Amino acid sequence: MNLVGVDENLNPVTPLYSYADRHPGTFAAVAELKAGLGLGSGSGSGSGLGLEAEYHQRTGCPFHSGYALPQLIRIGREEPERLRRVRHWQSLVGFCLSQWRGPGPDPNPNPNPKPNPNPNAGDKPDP
């Protein structure tokens, strides 16, 4: 997946992260995800497949650096300041469309709402 991070005004604040990512940190994140899920250990559920191959067969998704999760893990570790400036992640197509036609409604208008200090204020007891 191609990703670009944008700020609240849809201005890019990251480079384009490509599905063809070859960064060593992304490969390390893939290996950690596999290890954390117990994949690649060689034994499946009796199907004759290893756990990783079995997962791939069930979901259709192999674990590799082209998916967003390993890329985002790496960016969070190696580029935390850049990551903090991102308000939304967009695909390359979504980014181009937003630049051509302008922003749509904000899908996350209030990401940090203030909690109500008195949540029961105004509530009337049941009769």
- The CA-based diameter of the chain, rounded to the nearest angstrom, is 65
Q: Is 111 or 82 the better-scoring residue by pLDDT?
A: 82
Range of lowest pLDDT (19-23, 30-34, 88-92, 123-127) = 123-127
Core vs surface per residue 69-99: b (16+ CB within 10 A) or e: ebbbbbbeeebeeeeeebebbbeeebbeeee
User: What pLDDT shows up at residue 54?
Assistant: 81
Residue 59: what pLDDT?
81
**What percent of the chain has a predicted confidence (pLDDT) above 90?**
19
Residue 117 resides in a domain:
no
Whether 111 is covered by a domain: the verdict is: no
Would residue 125 count as lying in a domain? Answer: no
pLDDT score, position 84: 92
Give CA–CA dist 13/29, Å, rounded: 22
Per-residue pLDDT at 116: 55
pTM tops 0.85: no
Handedness of CA 86, 90, 96, 101 (dihedral sign): negative
Q: Is residue 41 part of a domain?
A: yes
- pLDDT of 46 > 60? The answer is no
* Host domain of residue 19: 3-101
How many domains in the chain?
A: 1
Query: Tens of pLDDT along 72-110?
Result: 889 999 999 999 999 999 999 988 888 888 766 665 666
Q: Do the domain assignments include residue 34?
A: yes
In this structure, the number of other CB atoms found within 10 A of the CB of residue 3 comes to 22
